[in-house]
Amino acid sequence: MNPTEPAVSAVGLRKSYGDKTVLDGIDLSIPQGTVFALLGPNGAGKTTTVQILSTLIPADGGRAQLAGHDLESDADGVRAAIGVTGQFSAVDNLLTAEENLILMADLHHLGRREGRRRAAELLHRFDLAEAARKPASTFSGGMRRKLDLAMTLVGDPRIIFLDEPTTGLDPRSRRTMWEIIRSLVDDKGVTVFLTTQYLEEADQLADRIAVLDHGVLVAEGTADELKRRVPGGYVRLRFSSPRDLDSAAGLFGTIAKRDPEALTLDIPGDGTIPTLRAVLDVLDAVSVRAEGLTVHTPDLDDVFLALTGGPGAHPAPFLTTDTTPDMTPDTTPVTNLQESAR
C-alpha cells in the first residue's frame, strides 16, 4: 500500500445495541508506523471500536479501511493485515507456549519449519524460552499477556490492535509491555492501535491520543496538545511571612489564589521557563522573597476528567481554574507574558 495512505481510516462508525448507542459516529485517521491510543473510561465504547475495526462485529453505519482493505467488502483482506490482542486473554490454556505459537503459525500456513523458527524467535524475544514447554494455564498474568502478544505477532501483522494491553499487570510487567510495544513500531514500522484507561500509558506510548466518551470522540491530538486544552497548571509560591504573601498577592491581582494558612500563592500558568522567569521578575522588582517555588502542570488525568465529564469537572477555557473563581475577563494571565516574550 501507498506509504502516505493512513493505516486505519474510518468515517462515521456507529453501533448501537437496542436503543443504547455505543458508538455515535467515530472518525479516525491513523498514519502508518504510529501508535494511536484510544483513551476513555469504562463503557465509553473503546472495545466496541476495536471489535468493529478487527472484523469481530459489524458496524451499524460508517465505513473504514485498514491497510487499504475495505472493512465491509474485504474483511479477509483486513484480517490478513491485522493482529489483535484482546482485553481477555486469547491463549489456549491446555497447550504449551510453544504449541500456542505453532498453532498460530499453522493457521497462517507458514509451513512446519518456518513455523517452528518463528515460534522459537518469539519465545526468545519475549523472554519465554524457559517456559516454552509449560502449559499456558500455569503462566502468570504478565507472561500470559506476553504470550498473547507473541501469538498476535506470528503472522507479521501490519496493524496491531491492543485492547487494554496492560490492565491488571504489575508495574514491572507493564514497563516490559511498553518496551515491547515501542520496539514494534521502531523496528518493524507497524501501526499500533491501543485502547487504555491509563493516561500514563497513552502519554508514554502514543503519538496521537483520542479521547472517547459515551461513544463520541471528545478530543484528539498529541499528549501535549491535549494537556494544553485543560486548566489546572499553576506556579505555587511559598512565603515565610503573611506580609510577603500579601505584597506578592497584590502584584498578581485577582488571578492569583492565596492561601493565608499555608502562606502560598497559586498563579495560573503553564510552568515553562519564560513563565517562571516572568513570575520571578515581578517578585524581584519589588524585592519580595519567595521561600519556595513549585510548578504544577496539568497531567492527562486533568484532561481526562475535564473532557469526559468526570465528577464535578467540565471543559473550561485554558486559563480559568477552579482555584480562581473570582477571575475577571480583563486580567492579564501569566502565560500571556510568555506569549509576548516569544
Partner 1 sequence: MSTVSHAVSDARTMLRRNLKHALRYPSMTISVVVMPVMMLLLFNYVFGGALGTGIGGVPKGDVDYIDYVAPGIILMAATSGAVATAVSVCVDMTEGIVNRFRTMAISRASFLTGHVVGSVIQTMVSITFVVGVALLIGFRPDATPVEWLAAAGLLTLLTLAFTWLSAAIGLVAKNPETASNIPLPLTFLPFLGSAVVPPESMPTGLRWFAEYQPFTPVIETLRGLLTGTEIGNSGIAALAWCLGLTLVGYLWARAAFRRGTR
Q: Where on the chain is the footprint of partner 1 (CB under 8 A)?
A: 51, 54-58, 76-77, 79-80, 82-84, 86, 88-95, 99, 103, 106-109, 135, 151-152, 155
Cβ nearer to partner 1, comparing 128 with 237? 128
Handedness of CA 48, 53, 58, 59 (dihedral sign): positive
Of 332, 155, 300, 140, the residue nearest 229 (C-alpha): 300
**Shortest distance, CB of residue 68 to partner 1, whole angstroms?**
15
Cβ nearer to partner 1, comparing 82 with 307? 82
Cβ nearer to partner 1, comparing 84 with 305? 84
Cβ nearer to partner 1, comparing 17 with 286? 17
**Shortest distance, CB of residue 94 to partner 1, whole angstroms?**
5
Cβ nearer to partner 1, comparing 92 with 301? 92
- 249, 279 contact by CB (below 8 A): no
**Shortest distance, CB of residue 208 to partner 1, whole angstroms?**
23
Q: In what order do the strands lie in the sheet with 208-213?
A: 82-85, 159-163, 191-196, 35-39, 208-213, 216-221
Distance, CA of 31 to CA of 79 (rounded, Å): 19
Cβ nearer to partner 1, comparing 51 with 196? 51
Of 310, 329, 315, 331, the residue nearest 231 (C-alpha): 315
Distance, CA of 175 to CA of 44 (rounded, Å): 25
Distance, CA of 40 to CA of 197 (rounded, Å): 6
**Shortest distance, CB of residue 39 to partner 1, whole angstroms?**
22
DSSP state of 96: B
- 154, 137 contact by CB (below 8 A): no
Question: Which residue has cell 516574550?
Answer: 341
**Shortest distance, CB of residue 162 to partner 1, whole angstroms?**
13
**Shortest distance, CB of residue 67 to partner 1, whole angstroms?**
12
Cβ nearer to partner 1, comparing 139 with 234? 139
What phi-psi label fits residue 28: left (phi over 0), alpha (psi between -120 and 50 degrees) or beta?
beta
Distance, CA of 341 to CA of 197 (rounded, Å): 37
The amino acid at 15 = K
Strands (E), 127-207: 159-163, 191-196
**Shortest distance, CB of residue 133 to partner 1, whole angstroms?**
13
**Shortest distance, CB of residue 57 to partner 1, whole angstroms?**
5
Cβ nearer to partner 1, comparing 20 with 342? 20
